Amino acid sequence: MVIICDKPYPVENEEKYLEYFQKFPYPLSDFQKYSIEAIVDGNHTLVSAATGNGKTVSADFAIQHFVAQGKKVIYTCPIKSLSNQKFYDFSQKYPDIQFGIFTGDIKFNPSADVIFATAEILMNYLFSLKNDQDTTEKKQTLLQLQVDIEHELGCVVMDECHFILDEDRGHVWENTILMLPPHIQMVLLSATLDQPERFARFCERGCGKGQTSPVALPPSKFEDSVENKQVVWSSTMKRIVPLTHYGFMTTIESIFKKVKDKTTQAEIRNSTNKLITLKTENGQFQDQGYIEIKKMRKLLETNQVYLKRSHVLNTLAKMLVEKEMLPALVFTFSRKNVEMCAKEITTNLLEFDSKIPYTIRREAEQILRGKIRNYQEYMEMPEYVQLMQLLEKGIGIHHSGMIPILREIVEFMISKRYIKMLFATDSFSIGLNCEIKTVVFTSVQKFDGDFEQFLMPHAYTQMAGRAGRRNIDTVGHVVHCNNLFELPSVTDYKQILCGKPQKMESKFHISYSMILNLIRNGQNTHRDFVEFVNKSMLSMDLYESTQVLIQEQQTQSKELDRLKTNIFTYLKTPVHVIKQYIDYKKELPNLVNKKRKEVERNMKQIEEEYRTCILDVASYNTIETAQQKLNGLDREIANNKSFVYGQLSRIMQIFQDRRFIDIPSADPSTNPEYKFTTMGHFASHIAEIHPLATAEIMFKYDFFEKFTPKQLVVFLSCFTDLRVKSDIIKHTPTITDNLVKQCVLDIKSILMEYDNMEGERRMNTGFKYNNAVMYDLLDEMDIWVDCEDEHSCKQFIQQTLGVEKQISVGDFTKAILKISAIAKEWIGMCEYEGKIGLMHKLQQIDPLILKYVCTTQSLYV
């Protein structure tokens, strides 16, 4: 049962847990004490609180607590950069504890006391655990994590676990929670959640006591063997550092030449170049503030006063300096605008005696020299030179198109408090540690790939919450540059600033990878699959949805009975005549000439014989409409109850049709044991890209027997999700290598087959088929592999990528790392399955592509 801690911490418990609380040199909040108590008592802890409230205390304590007991800790993060930063921060904080890191790109110290990893790595490792046929050596070959989950692991920390609601990756967290052995404690750190008790109940495994799944099954094996731990949910709805949200408007003196009225001039002076409260620290939206901003915007528009962005930003920057509201984080939802806005700042942000302009370049060089072997290549890049010019003014930039090393330099400079104004995209809102006093929004809309959309309340809250850090600031500020974007309606603005957290809905998919992993683990019957899904949050969603539908069904059934009783009592036209009339009316639009006239004559005859016919038909249609609604509810309930079984059956049919499994019986009702074919074994090791299509292409091309390592690199580049401008996207491969070209076309064709199969069978496996294969890097990767020295690499990046393709070095690096990750996964598969020839080729890929500034190096490791 979930333990909800929403009251002040009990005084009587203080003495019992005092020795643990005193590990921290500052007073703890109630939610922190509850969390520490849960860890000490052997329970799971779910901490949900706004950014900056001190959630990390729970992870901090867990690391100390379990390492002291000789147990290991795995600390998961949603993104690699956060894993890198957490690894560095904790390594500096606890030099006596051994830390390791596994992010796919970086693998360091696999036998450490505490291992930082991305969520996907832990999920894949857990899926490999239960395969009794795998030796420990084989498992480590596949994933290289050296942790004995059963005997060594004490705790898993899941930072930013609200990512379970992420549309594309949420299933990773859900699968991980499902796969963790029940004796391992979880420390779950999250932003404010919708229905946190429900999430906590899911974490205790299954649908919760007193509930029945839509698919009736015996209790899970976990529940049979081990008493599940309780989840202790502690939270704080109130920010420790209060946060106030403001609007900001500025103008130029020319408006006063157009506006002659002294009263209006006074209003303009009183409403510009100052902070106008939009939302108080108590969370109340201020309508008066909104009206004031709206009035100012109308005055500017009426008088055709249009301000340059540079003027608005510099006026705001000057005010932030004067009010001591720096450092500031300025969110700009475009990489291009991030850099342009940063360059437009001319206001002096630094103190008059600051040494930053004279020392920061040297410090950056020292950081690079200490960590990066080819540091000079970075220092000669135009991007590095431009970044240094900004940093010398106390300005930083941060977006995913930058080279990781340059982003990390910025993060280091933030931690040293050298940056006074940081321009960043919303990716910076994800957990990265920084001491920010003010957050600035240059817009409250973001392009979603198709349209400009208002920020979702949870996304806005996450970004705004970066302002004001506990034990550093006493207040935090959020400022909207209302000159720079269209003012939303008051309803939309309230929703953005004050809307509810993201709805707690499962993102779990019944996917090919999930079933392949379960079969590999020995959970290879239809009942095993259903039982696994039955513990998911998806099952909870289906159950709760079904219960609502059943209530509606019962209400609708009663309403239908009432209608029938009332209407049939007063009908004067016989029911069979009414039905005949309705049939005629339905036929009429499709009839012509003689037949149409005959039907019209019959209808006229009925109307003359039964004077109330028209009214009676209308009344009867009311019954029909109610009956159709009831039938629809019946179908929805039936669909919910059969959803899991139906999805699984369709997947297993595809597995059988495409020769991934052999089974003694094709009828799932007999609960047969599914066995992998050879192709199924290979597919079960693939996670980076579509497992079935990949296995098929491997077999089709005899495990790439005729491919060279270079050709493999070029082929794998078609799986990189690279951003290319719409006007230069390639819709067909142009590479001259016919072997690679045909292979790319074949994998595209196979993926289209799966897409069509899923569409025809009404399946959703979670795989995104749109742009699953792209042709925009095939030719470029062919060139990159042949770049053998610094000059050719630099020429390629600056000319081929920068000018011709307009691809950032950061994006190109991500594409290379994706190729490297696929190659590493395939190496493990080949070693496991004995495909030595292909493995030897794959091992040559990293040296071909990881070079110059496009590497896995990190300043944090």
Strands 99-102 and 114-118: parallel
Q: If you average pLDDT over residues 624-645, what whole number do you get?
A: 95
Q: Residue 177 CB: number of other CB atoms within 10 A?
A: 25
Q: If you average pLDDT over residues 454-468, what whole number do you get?
A: 92
CB-based contacts of 445-454 (< 8 A; 24+ apart in sequence)? 445/333, 445/485, 446/333, 447/333, 447/334, 454/488, 454/492, 454/495, 454/496
Q: What is the pLDDT of residues 255-264, one digit of tens each?
A: 898 888 889 9
Q: What is the pLDDT of residues 696-728, one digit of tens each?
A: 999 999 999 999 999 999 999 999 988 788 888
Two domains, one topology: 3-236 and 243-498: yes
Q: What is the pLDDT of residue 49?
A: 86
pTM summary value: 0.89
Strands 114-118 and 153-158: unpaired
Nearest to 60 by CA among 70, 78, 75, 48: 75
Angle subtended at Cα 325 by Cα 323 and Cα 330, rounded to the nearest 5 degrees: 130
Instruction: Give every CB contact of residue 715 below 8 A, 6+ residues apart in sequence.
Output: 704, 707, 740, 743, 744
Report d(CA 337, CA 399) in Å as an integer: 11
**Residue pair 98/114 in contact by the 8 Å Cβ criterion:** yes
DSSP symbols for 651-716: HHHHHHHTTSEE-S-S-GGG-PBPEE-HHHHHHTT--SS-HHHHHHHHHHTGGGTT--HHHHHHHH
Q: What is the pLDDT of residue 144?
A: 61
Q: If you average pLDDT over residues 331-342, what whole number do you get?
A: 95
Residue 859's SS3 state is coil
**Residue pair 265/256 in contact by the 8 Å Cβ criterion:** yes
How far the first Cα of the chain sits from its last, in Å, is 41
- Neighbouring C-alpha atoms within 13 Å toward the C-beta of 64: 16
**Residue pair 757/731 in contact by the 8 Å Cβ criterion:** no
Q: What share of the chain is helix, strand, coil (3-state, %, to 5)?
A: 55, 10, 35
Name the band, by pLDDT with cuts 50, 70 and 90, for residue 214: very low
Q: What is the pLDDT of residues 779-837, one digit of tens each?
A: 999 999 999 999 999 999 989 888 888 899 999 999 999 999 999 999 999 998 899 99
The torsion angle over the Cα atoms of residues 517, 522, 527 and 531, rounded to 10 degrees, is -60
Q: What is the pLDDT of residues 847-861, one digit of tens each?
A: 999 999 999 999 998
Q: Which two tokens stand for residue 152?
A: 């060594």
Residue 831's SS3 state is helix
Superfamily of domain 3-236: P-loop containing nucleotide triphosphate hydrolases (3.40.50.300)
Fold of 243-498: Rossmann fold (3.40.50)
Higher pLDDT, 501 or 146: 501
Q: Which two tokens stand for residue 765?
A: 């496996």
Q: What is the pLDDT of residues 732-778, one digit of tens each?
A: 999 999 999 999 999 999 999 999 999 999 999 999 999 899 999 99
Q: What is the pLDDT of residues 274-328, one digit of tens each?
A: 999 999 999 999 999 999 999 999 999 998 888 999 999 999 999 999 999 999 9
Q: What is the pLDDT of residue 141?
A: 46
Report d(CA 373, CA 260) in Å as an integer: 65
Report d(CA 861, CA 517) in Å as an integer: 32
Most confidently modeled range among 66-80, 191-205, 218-232, 424-438: 66-80
Q: If you average pLDDT over residues 63-81, what whole number do you get?
A: 94
| Angle between helical axes of 335-344 and 382-391 (0-180°, round to 10) | 50
Instruction: Give every CB contact of residue 562 below 8 A, 6+ residues apart in sequence.
Output: none
Report d(CA 426, CA 249) in Å as an integer: 23
Domain ranges of the chain: 3-236, 243-498, 508-572+612-669, 677-849
- In the predicted model, what is the mean pLDDT of the chain? 90
Q: Which CATH class is domain 677-849?
A: mainly alpha
Considering only CA atoms, give the Rg of the chain: 31
